[in-house]
Amino acid sequence: MRILVANANTTEAITALCAGAARAAASPGVEIVPGTPRFGPAVISSGLENAIAAHGILDLLAEHAGRVDAVVLAVSLDTALDAARQLMPCPVVGMTEAACLAALMLGPRFGLVTFGGTESYRQLVGKYGLSSRLSGLVGVDFTPQRALSDPEGARRAVAEGVASLVAGGADSVVLGGAALAGMEPALREGSPVPLLDGMACGVRMAEALVALRPARARSGPMAPVRGRESAGLSPALAALLRGDAGG
């Protein structure tokens, strides 16, 4: 089984980090294929950058259509998730989506902790229709950069965020964002509730979907498009819009 770990920004180091976390979480025999867009924001830290990045990640996915068994979006806002599902002939899972769904199986309500602002996560959980299962969001006052230079302080701050979410009724906590990827083992011991890592959940959910072999939709919003014309897009993406390939 080949799983594409698709970054939505153009920073290869983040792709590598996420691909490493994916490999650590994957079942034996699963090949992790890292992918980085050819263009777009270096790091996505605003809704504006996220909207621009949709084109880049779809462009990237089009290159791999038909050559991977599943895709995990390695980007905290699950950029262009529904569009990616319509584009690709294989299952596509978002890392934050996967962590939220796993959390749903651990108790009535989950919290989410991340670095920085929480508004985009609040919107994302709302878009997924899961707001009634969300007990709260905590934004830890750390940048990803500062977390790299002070990992111990970052872990302590995240642990405090987890504790405050648990006090607010969380039965589990999603670790939101690539910057928290891989932090779960170090926090696990001290946490009063289970913690969900996006890349680990994404990979395992993708494996489960591949095993379930869901048929591709032939009608409705998820059905592949056909005969659509475009201008200035990559040959691979334009071909998928025309219906020449994939599916």
Contact set for a second copy, span 33-72 (CB under 8 A): 38-43, 45-52, 54-56, 58
- 40-44 long-range Cβ contacts below 8 angstroms, 24+ apart: 40/8, 40/9, 40/10, 41/9, 41/10, 42/9, 42/10, 42/11, 43/9, 43/11, 43/14, 44/8, 44/9, 44/75, 44/76, 44/77, 44/79
C-beta closer to a second copy: residue 17 or 124: 124
* Residue in 31, 66, 67, 108 binding a second copy, rule: CB under 8 A: 108
Residue 2: strand pairing partners: 31
Residue with tokens 């970054």: 7
C-beta closer to a second copy: residue 107 or 144: 107
For residue 211, the minimal CB distance to a second copy (Å) is 5
C-beta closer to a second copy: residue 153 or 192: 192
Assess 130 for contact with a second copy (CB under 8 A).
Answer: yes
What CA–CA distance (Å, rounded) separates 107 from 170?
Answer: 8
For residue 226, the minimal CB distance to a second copy (Å) is 10
- 145-149 long-range Cβ contacts below 8 angstroms, 24+ apart: 147/115, 147/179
Q: Give the DSSP letter string of 86-125.
A: HH-SS-EEEHHHHHHHHHHTT-S-EEEEEES--HHHHHHH
Q: Binding to a second copy (CB under 8 A): which residues in 208-237?
A: 208-209, 211-212, 214-223, 225, 228-233, 237
Q: Binding to a second copy (CB under 8 A): which residues in 132-191?
A: 132-133, 166, 169-172, 188, 191
Q: Binding to a second copy (CB under 8 A): which residues in 87-106?
A: 87, 91, 93, 97-98, 101-102, 104-106
* Residue in 60, 74, 195, 199 binding a second copy, rule: CB under 8 A: 195
State the number of binding residues for a second copy (CB under 8 A): 92
C-beta closer to a second copy: residue 32 or 201: 201
For residue 15, the minimal CB distance to a second copy (Å) is 13
Cα-based torsion angle of the residue sequence 15, 208, 125, 135 in order, rounded to the nearest 10 degrees: -110
